[in-house]
Amino acid sequence: MTLNSEEHVIQEERSACERKGSVGGTVVNWPSPARRLLIAGTGSGVGKTTVTLGIMRALTRNGWKVQPFKCGPDYIDPTYHTAVTGVPSRNLDSWMCGPDGMRDIFVRRANGADIAIMEGVMGLYDGRRADSDEGSSASVAKQMDCPVLLVIDASGMARSAAAMVAGFQHFDAEVRIAGVIANNVGSERHGKLLREAIESACGVPLIGFVLRDTGLAVPERHLGLVPAIERGTLDSLFERMADAVEAHTDLNEIVRIAESAPLRNMDDLSLGAADSNDIPSKQSSFSSVREAGQELGVTQEPLRLALAYDAAFHFYYPDNMELLEACGFELVRFSPLADEPVPDGVDGLYIGGGFPEAFAPELAKCSRALASIRQVIEAGTPTFAECGGYMLLTERLVLTDGSVYPLIGILPGETRMGTKLAALGYREVTGEAGNFLLPMEQMARGHEFHYSTVHVEEAQALPPAYRSRGLAGERPEGAVYQDRLQLVAGYTHIHFGSNSAIVTNWAQACVAFRQKRL
């Protein structure tokens, strides 16, 4: 069903409700509120990404400006969102960023959009812990005062679908499930039965359904998927998803649900149901890093930060990049995979995560790039390497088939790939001695996900960069040079919004290095 043209016009009474507020130190205007909707699933694998992408593309091709968001720490789904909408997607993570940081991200991005659509993570109530909703989609929905569209896998059920929806409705009264979309529906007749069951028993509408179609499966989310998306290779799949959703879904009702979010000042969105967060929320503000950059003089003479970016290294939180730029960094990209050396005259180096193991034979041949990275680090350039970047700095990479590929070797030891997850989950990291980004006892939050492990002989081991705490307890993590080199490396993907002092600490180190270099 296509949108009525009048639905695209922001209602006059909402336009009249514009409020002024301060975001990152700048006064902006935004509708109060932006249309907003969270699409969540009953669990992983029910098809919420397919449904979300279909809705986003359907609205976009109907002329709407959709601002996409992803709940949680995932890097890949936001890439899909950006591809189907043409608008950069952002992560909303109630645990890593805290309520205020999450609100700031939302307000800065949703301002000016016709509708904000957030894709949930795992099941609606799944998050950091089993005994709370910390880090869950439900937590985001409550903090953002946002209606929820629940996606269910309806294969093999009719009235039982209503029982499942009712359970999600009553589990937490503060979460407002405003509609349901059924995936994997066998026929239009099946869809009609589901509508009768859910609407009669649960009192919420079945907004639509998606017929079973194995061709709508989202491709494997690794091995160079990002460049495939950027080349437009998956455009036909995204169009097919939009067709499948739009065929049996009331888009106008989706918009009405998004408009049902309470009329309230966006500044107040963080006041309800906040996760516990010991990290001061003020540290997530863009104004603090901007002021620090002004004090250091880098807003007038930007610092040049080399950023490794290609198919092997592309896992970066966009908000981390924007915090760096707000402080006065100029991000200069280069591709290790294309054997490009680190650009000349840089003041810092950032090597993020990705899939170096997928390109091990190619990387091992990029001698010019690898040698330049080692040279820049040995010159004392303040460097941060996380996950894939951490792996790259070890001596060699051992794949699961036993093949061995030489790497940079500025860190002792070898990285070994495994067939099972080595680590997964949220992390709170505390800096150790020699960590110029996160000095001793300073904390930040992030996420860990990898199949590899780093193995070092005890006599060669460097001091750890952090103490890392997850649900399984606390352990040392990463590596740091405490004397001649300014290098911090570890597996945890840190969200700088959890402690923006990371950005200012990095800027201070880069200013000192530039003065010494010049």
The answer to whether residues 430 and 441 touch, using CB atoms and an 8 Å cutoff, is yes
The sign one gets for the Cα dihedral 231, 122, 258, 164 is positive
Residues 223 and 369: their CA atoms lie apart, in Å, by 21
Residues 34 and 37: their CA atoms lie apart, in Å, by 10
Q: Which domains does the chain have, with CATH numbers?
A: 30-271 (3.40.50.300), 281-517 (3.40.50.880)
Phi and psi for 391 in degrees, rounded to 5?
-60, -45
pTM of the model: 0.84
pLDDT at 231: 56
pLDDT at 265: 53
Mean pLDDT of the residues in the chain: 86
| Bridge partners (DSSP) listed for residue 20 | 29
Residues 438 and 432: their CA atoms lie apart, in Å, by 8
Residues 208 and 27: their CA atoms lie apart, in Å, by 40
User: Which of 97, 146, 387, 510 is an active site residue?
Assistant: 387
pLDDT at 441: 87
Which residues, 6+ apart, have CB-to-CB distance to 214 below 8 Å? Answer: none
As a dihedral over the C-alpha atoms of residue 258, residue 264, residue 266, residue 272, rounded to 10 degrees, the angle is -90
The answer to whether residues 343 and 307 touch, using CB atoms and an 8 Å cutoff, is no
The sign one gets for the Cα dihedral 52, 53, 59, 65 is positive
Residues 147 and 473: their CA atoms lie apart, in Å, by 35
The answer to whether residues 354 and 315 touch, using CB atoms and an 8 Å cutoff, is yes
Q: What is the DSSP string of 280-311?
A: -GGGG-HHHHHHHHHHHTTTTSPEEEEEE-SS
Residues 375 and 379: their CA atoms lie apart, in Å, by 6
How far are the Cα atoms of 369, 374, 439, 485 from residue 381, in angstroms, in the given order?
16, 10, 17, 8
pLDDT at 263: 60
pLDDT at 227: 53
pLDDT at 211: 96
The segments of the chain whose pLDDT lies below 70 read 1-33, 219-232, 263-285, 299
pLDDT at 232: 65
Residues 360 and 337: their CA atoms lie apart, in Å, by 9
Q: Which helix (H) or strand (E) holds 256?
A: helix 251-259
* 387 classed as catalytic: yes
Residues 362 and 290: their CA atoms lie apart, in Å, by 39
Residues 495 and 73: their CA atoms lie apart, in Å, by 9
The answer to whether residues 465 and 489 touch, using CB atoms and an 8 Å cutoff, is yes
